[in-house]
Structure 1
Amino acid sequence: MENSTNIAVSQVITPAELLAHWQGHRRVTRRTIEAFPEDAFFNHTIGGMRPFANMVMELLAIGVPGLKEIVEGKREAFNEDFKHDNKKATFLKLWDDTTDAINTYWAQLKPEQFQENVILFGQYEGTVWSQIFYFIENEIHHRAQGYVYLRALGIEPPLFYVRD
């Protein structure tokens, strides 16, 4: 790979590998959602943290809308408080739908865009790659909080390193 001044640039990871990495984390998070008892998913808290369902709503509000904004260039409103029917199955369906949407928008992302600066949701500035890293890191952070909840409930969380 060469940049515009013909200086060789090494690539550490391809866009396809980064997507696979992100989707691997998403599979672990899906298994974390599945592990919760229905009531605890919506109501269990520790130390003032939000219920895991609320954390998942945040993740749903960031990944696809942020990626869509990067690809289409249209500002998205940040909305993590959406109406739902208090059923874990609904969240799992939304999770699966967003997994498909990530794949769709990712296919439209050009490799040269990763270095571009963007401002997501009208307030978060960074390069495209740093925004995507944030999406992944934020998911890992909230999944870890979910692991604490599961352990407090006496439930063994899914193995974080099994991403298939």
Structure 2
Amino acid sequence: MEKTMEQQKETAQIITSSQLLEHWQGHRRVTRRVIEAFPEKELFTHSIGGMRPFSEMVNELLGIAVPGLQEIVSGKTTELKEHFDHGNSKARVLEAWDKSTEEINSLWGKIKLERFQENIVLFGQYEGSVQSSIFYFIDNEIHHRGQAYVYLRSLGIEPPFFWERDK
């Protein structure tokens, strides 16, 4: 039986789930290099125009990505937590970043393709589809990384090239 045009539209994909994960992980690799580029002290203290230090932005990213995917996979609502004790140690921030990268890869394989269009309420307050929630995770990371680029440039440090996502 042939599919109708409407059915074809519903099943058509522009990118695969694994391609979306690779896209996100490419951004995460760049963000990791941005964290590495910061001098230890400035990662936790440098601010411009009342914005938070980049370490606090990274805490937010860590508080959203893995817990958000865990909620998507399990269906169990959790509270949004954006504060982690890193002891003002860049090494501990990078360790947490690397651990979350592994967890994202592990959780990703547990998201069934049909779930991407499903509507959810993430952290009990953010309504959207699974797909739009993941896009938010990525967009929010890019947004905060842009702020970090401004911080690095104000410190006289050349930020990593944003288009080099394979390294």
TM-score, normalising length: structure 1: 0.96
* Aligned residue in 2 for 1:8: 8
> Does residue 70 of structure 2 align to residue 32 of structure 1?
no
Q: Would you identify which runs of 4 or more consecutive aligned residues in structure 1 move more than 6 Å?
A: 2-6
Secondary structure, counterpart of 2:134 in structure 1:
helix
**2:102 and 2:157 mapped to 1: Cα distance?**
29
- Could you tell me which of 123, 130, 133 is aligned with 1:131? 133
Question: CA, structure 1 residues 66+3, in 2 after alignment: closer, same or farther (shift >3 Å)?
Answer: farther
- Could you tell me which of 75, 85, 105 is aligned with 1:83? 85
The alignment of Structure 1 onto Structure 2 pairs a total of residues equal to: 163
1:80 Cα deviation from its structure 2 partner: 0.6
Q: Which runs of 5+ in 2 are unaligned?
A: none
Letter in 2 for 1:32: V
- Could you tell me which of 56, 63, 74 is aligned with 2:76? 74
Letter in 1 for 2:33: R
1:7 Cα deviation from its structure 2 partner: 1.7
Identity of counterpart residues, as a percentage?
62
* Aligned residue in 2 for 1:62: 64
- Tell which deviates more after alignment, 66-75 or 5-14: 5-14
**1:62 and 1:35 mapped to 2: Cα distance?**
23
* Aligned residue in 2 for 1:20: 22
Letter in 1 for 2:122: L
* Aligned residue in 2 for 1:157: 159
TM-score, normalising length: structure 2: 0.94
Deviations 1:32-83 (A, max 9, x none): 0000000000000000000000000000000000011001101111111122
